[in-house]
């Protein structure tokens, strides 16, 4: 894991790297992701109205690491911001955290980049922060995210039956978890 001089945590993989969000990331491209119903179909953010001002406030709120760390997922080839991955809230008493991600650039779907970003976040959480467990909740119909988490060693731990409404119909949420000690 690489750490830059200003503690802007960076974790680099073969195709993508994670870096702290920057104020410049609150731009029209990012805003377009939040307005794209395919990008947000399995995210709770789909229920909110997003404006340039609200996006700027969201990014500004996450610039200083607290109990949540929000990273930009960027392509190595051109440093293009293609999505985000979150770690948090972090429970420092139990050394656990939740994670979730968004690949906003649909041209990057199906290329294994979400899987790589999850693996990098695990590396950061387990090696950098010394967390012992990470968990996630994924809409049952979000097969791509389920596959990405499972490829990174996450195990299905439970099911919240009908926990969310998707297109006005109840949908299950699959609970997944991974320990630092897992292979």
Q: Which pLDDT score is estimated for 146?
A: 97
Please report whether residue 157 resides in a domain: no
Q: Which pLDDT score is estimated for 2?
A: 46
Contacts for 37 with CB less than 8 Å, ≥ 6 apart? 46
Please report whether residue 139 resides in a domain: no
Per residue, the 3-state secondary structure of 81-136, as one string, reads EEEEEEEEEEECCCCEEEEEEEECCHHHCCCCHHHHHHHHHHHHHHHHCCCCEEEE
Using pLDDT thresholds of 50, 70 and 90, give the confidence band for residue 158: very high
- Mean per-residue pLDDT for 49-56? 81
Using pLDDT thresholds of 50, 70 and 90, give the confidence band for residue 3: very low
Task: State yes or no: pLDDT of 1 exceeds 70.
Answer: no
Q: Which pLDDT score is estimated for 64?
A: 72
Task: State yes or no: pLDDT of 56 exceeds 90.
Answer: no
Please report whether residue 112 resides in a domain: yes
Please report whether residue 136 resides in a domain: no
Q: Which pLDDT score is estimated for 143?
A: 96
Q: State how many domains the chain has.
A: 1
Q: Which of 48-57, 141-150, 152-161, 171-180 has the lowest mean pLDDT?
A: 48-57
* Domain coverage including residue 111: 2-131
More confident residue, 157 or 57: 157
Among 117, 104, 98, smallest CA distance to 37 is for 104
CATH code for the domain of 77: 3.40.630.30
Task: Report how far residue 145's alpha carbon sits from residue 132's, in angstroms, rounded to the nearest whole number.
Answer: 22
Please report whether residue 148 resides in a domain: no
Please report whether residue 62 resides in a domain: yes
Task: Report how far residue 141's alpha carbon sits from residue 157's, in angstroms, rounded to the nearest whole number.
Answer: 17
Q: Which pLDDT score is estimated for 114?
A: 97
Q: Which pLDDT score is estimated for 59?
A: 79
Torsion-angle region of 50 (φ positive above 0: left; ψ -120 to 50: alpha; else: beta): beta
Please report whether residue 26 resides in a domain: yes
- If you count DSSP H runs as helices and E runs as strands, how many of each does the chain have, helices first? 5, 9
Please report whether residue 141 resides in a domain: no
Average pLDDT, the chain: 90
128-148 pLDDT tens trace: 999 999 999 999 999 999 999
């Amino acid at each position: 894991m690489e750490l830059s001089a200003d503690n802007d945590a960076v974790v680099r993989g073969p195709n993508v790297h994670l870096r702290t969000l920057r104020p410049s990331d609150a731009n029209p491209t990012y805003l377009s992701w939040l307005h794209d119903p395919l990008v947000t179909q399995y995210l709770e953010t789909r229920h909110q109205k997003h404006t340039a001002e609200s996006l700027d406030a969201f990014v500004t709120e996450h610039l200083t690491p607290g109990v949540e760390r929000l990273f930009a997922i960027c392509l190595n080839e051109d440093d293009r911001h293609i999505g985000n991955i979150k770690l948090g809230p972090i429970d420092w008493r139990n050394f656990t955290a939740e994670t979730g991600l968004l690949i906003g650039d649909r041209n990057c779907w199906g290329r294994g980049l979400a899987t790589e970003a999850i693996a990098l976040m695990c590396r950061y959480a387990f090696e950098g922060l010394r967390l012992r467990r990470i968990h996630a909740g994924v809409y049952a119909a979000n097969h791509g995210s389920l596959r990405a988490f499972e490829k990174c060693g996450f195990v299905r731990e439970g099911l919240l039956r009908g926990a969310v409404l998707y297109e006005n119909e109840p949908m299950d949420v699959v609970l997944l978890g991974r320990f630092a000690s897992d292979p």
